[in-house]
Amino acid sequence: MNNDQSLTTTLGQFHLQNPFLLASAPPTASYEQIRRAFSVGWAGAVIKTIRPDGMVIEDVSPRFHAIKESSGEILGFENIELLSKKTVSYWTSQIPRLKQEFPNRLLVASIMGTPDPADWKSLASQVEEAGADAIEMNVSCPHGMPEQGVGAAIGQDPAMVRDLTRAVKDATEIPVIVKLTPNVTDILPIARAAAAGGADMISAINTVQCLSGIDLDTFEPLPSVAGYSTYGGYSGPAVKPIGLRMVSQIASSIDLPVIGIGGISGWRDAAEYLLAGASAVQVCTAVMWHGFGIVREMQSGLSSYLAGKGVSTPDQIRGLALGRLRSHQSLDRAARIRPSLSARTRCTSCGRCVIACRDGGYHAIALHDGNPEFDYSLCDGCSLCSQVCPESTIILSREG
């Protein structure tokens, strides 16, 4: 485990060994999994969502579908898995064990009840008594649970979010985190409702509702459950831009700590969330694909990055990108960039930049002796050529 003090992170009233937490998901579905995660260096974990014993949970098979690059690397991941199948008494017996073995790790109990505040109060009281450090209110699950009037069905209603947050706050003394759904037109009214209800922190985002694919031979939507499927929750690298946008909006507008979630596969992704205003991050899909051990590379990579920037803790880069976000109308129209080749020997003459500029740009590039040449009288500085270059040979510099 990395004990480098440069990764010590402040999350509200908590002081974490590093900013890396496990999200409420399959990797936190049991005592054994959380114990193993803590052993390899995760600073905290959010238990897979605990629900009232009367809320029946029956998962289907299969319940995952991945969208991959040709190399096999994950781009996006759909799941239609539901909440914890373990009883409340299981978790109230395992929380004390985990806290006794790992007293310095953050253990958050994710809970979900019906629209009846009494359900939420009961669960909150029980996990607090068991020794949980904080509560995360799951008002954001996008599949299965909304059909029962819970999950995102609650999280899309600001009044319900406010009232249920207030109910949980009234029932407990430990910090309350509200986990928000991205499946809304504007996340800020929901974040403000959580704050109005007394939330201590906000976590965002839960998965994005999706239909990840259709089998072209059978016409079955995926994942296919005996020939049928449903809309699921989308995660993985493809949702990071959505998560970054929403975390930055919340951090800019709400005076509460934010935990960033969505598409975090390595330390670079985590650093971007910190720069966007997050105090810590939660990870799920990358762990499901690569195991708990990825936290070691995340810790070492982030530690080296911070050292290179001359800062001593992740806290010092929190929100540094927020001041650079502006309205579209306020962006500088006079500024222009100019593309050029960084090294002609690296160019493979694939012609992608030529085709992209011809059909999606301004016909400002042509191949001469196997290398692209730029006609700056036609170039509009859109940057498309550099985006499609597979060798990252085309670089951009500011005019003047």
CA distance 314 to 278: 10
| Per-residue model confidence (pLDDT) at position 307 | 96
Low pLDDT (below 70) residues in the chain: 1-5, 400
Helix (H) or strand (E) holding 248: helix 240-253
H runs (alpha helix) in 102-155? 117-130, 152-155
| Per-residue model confidence (pLDDT) at position 116 | 97
Please tell me the number of Cα atoms within 13 Å of 239 on its side-chain side.
31
Measured over the CA atoms of residue 142, residue 146, residue 151 and residue 154, the dihedral's sign is positive
Exactly one of 141, 284, 379, 385 is catalytic; name it: 141
| Per-residue model confidence (pLDDT) at position 396 | 96
| Per-residue model confidence (pLDDT) at position 384 | 98
| Per-residue model confidence (pLDDT) at position 68 | 94
Global pTM? Answer: 0.96
| Per-residue model confidence (pLDDT) at position 400 | 67
CATH 3.30.70.20 fits 335-398, yes or no: yes
The ranges assigned to domains in the chain are 5-324, 335-398
Q: Using an 8 Å Cβ cutoff, are 7 and 285 in contact?
A: no
CATH 3.20.20.70 fits 5-324, yes or no: yes
Any idea how long the chain is? 400
Locate 339 and state its tokens: 């593309």
- The total of other beta-carbon atoms located within 10 Å of residue 100's CB is 9
| Per-residue model confidence (pLDDT) at position 339 | 96
- Is 353 assigned a catalytic role? no
Interstrand relation of 134-138 and 106-111 (parallel, antiparallel or unpaired): parallel
